[in-house]
Amino acid sequence: MIALLARITAADADAGARPLATERDRGLLGWQGVTAQAARHCRNRRAAQAVAGQLPYTDLGAIELWRALADELKAARDRDQRPPLADVSAVMACLEAPPSRPLEGGDLVAVARLAEDLDRLREWLLRWPALLPLWSAAAREAATFAGLVAELRRCLDRDGRLQDGASPLLGRLRRLAREREQQVRESVAKAMAEASRRGWTAGEEVTLRGDRFCLPLRAADRRKVAGIVHDRSQTGQTIYVEPAATVQLANDLAECRLETAAEETRILHELNQRVREQTPALLAAGGLLLLVDRVQAVGAWAAVRRAGRPQLAPGGSVRIAQGRHPLLEQALAEQTRATGAAAAAVVPLDL
């Protein structure tokens, strides 16, 4: 695990094991409502859940670490530089889930986007080592995923379909399948034209039954065309026959499609293996992104609320100067929007 993530994880666990205030006290203070306000500034659902469920830290070292992380992001924000964040919650959940089934093409494309987003954030954090020393140090511990992204992008199109160039064999098989399908279509079209000319057909177009091209023949004329019966209409008046001249061509096409499917399965298996090998690193880098999201969200909330940072001293007394409760401010703002009345300001209090 990235060292910074381990420190924050330990601080979160300590806050839960040694709560600073009881649940009742937190309720009286409106703590959950305040964290919910901050959570709305998150880009990621998982980061928002973490912020909304955040408990007050009890360890001074953990508090100072969080403040230092927030100060670094604020320094970047003051320069109009913000971390590139994307919502990675769904993809991370997919990677964390037990591998009950292989990832499909669309899932793998989502993994490629995740890896690109993580690399983009890593590059951003490394851009200003003097401005973001803690974040840059954490980013240096994170893996890079250019090789994984290149492999996934080479094999899959943007919709998750395997591309012909995913392997030389796949490209050859798909070209052969297209050629054989064209041969089947030409053969059955010739048979259809002949049957139509003789007045044996019950329709004007060749019909697919399963994956087989069939002629729609009138039941009375079914035996006038050699071939295999694949179906009949509900009325029994139309029989669907695959012409004998087309059968072997269709068999060759079916065999080619089976070989193609086997090669596609092999490629997807290899891509899944690549992703599985990189999953721990992806989750670690994803955890760093979620932490950035958490810290920046709290900082954004503080800026919106014009919040001040309290001075902390072990064993010191509590004194609040010109305090404004953020939930009261929110309630007054909502009341103003609902009634259209003049905006009311919270009267600051000294306690």
Mean pLDDT across the chain? 92
pLDDT in the model for residue 349: 80
Q: Name residue 274's amino acid.
A: R
Q: What is the mean pLDDT of residues 90-117?
A: 94
- Whether residue 83 contacts residue 333, with contact meaning beta carbons closer than 8 Å, is answered with no
pLDDT in the model for residue 344: 67
List Cβ neighbours of 287 (8 Å cut-off, separation of 6 or more): 1, 2, 5
d(CA 97, CA 90): 11
Euclidean distance between the first and final Cα of the chain, in Å?
43
The maximal CA–CA distance of the chain, rounded, in angstroms, is 104
Q: What is the mean pLDDT of residues 121-138?
A: 96
Q: For residue 240, give the H/E element and its range.
A: strand 238-243
| Residue position matching structure tokens 């381990």 | 6
pLDDT in the model for residue 339: 74
In 114-145, which positions are buried (b, 16+ CB within 10 angstroms) versus exposed (e)?
A: bbbbbbebbebbeebeeebebbbebbeebbeb
d(CA 298, CA 88): 19
d(CA 350, CA 324): 9
Q: Model's pTM, two decimal places? A: 0.85
Tokens of 32: 């959950």
Q: What is the mean pLDDT of residues 33-44?
A: 94
Per-residue pLDDT of 248-261, as tens digits, reads 999 999 999 999 99
- Whether residue 215 contacts residue 188, with contact meaning beta carbons closer than 8 Å, is answered with yes
By the 10 Å C-beta count (0-12 exposed, 13-18 middle, 19+ buried), 108 is classed as buried
User: In degrees, to the nearest 5, what angle opens at C-alpha 129 toward C-alphas 124 and 131?
Assistant: 90
pLDDT in the model for residue 342: 63
Tokens of 192: 């259809």
d(CA 221, CA 239): 9
List Cβ neighbours of 10 (8 Å cut-off, separation of 6 or more): 62
Q: What is the mean pLDDT of residues 198-218?
A: 93
What's the full length of the chain, in residues? 351
- 1 falls in which pLDDT band (50, 70, 90)? confident
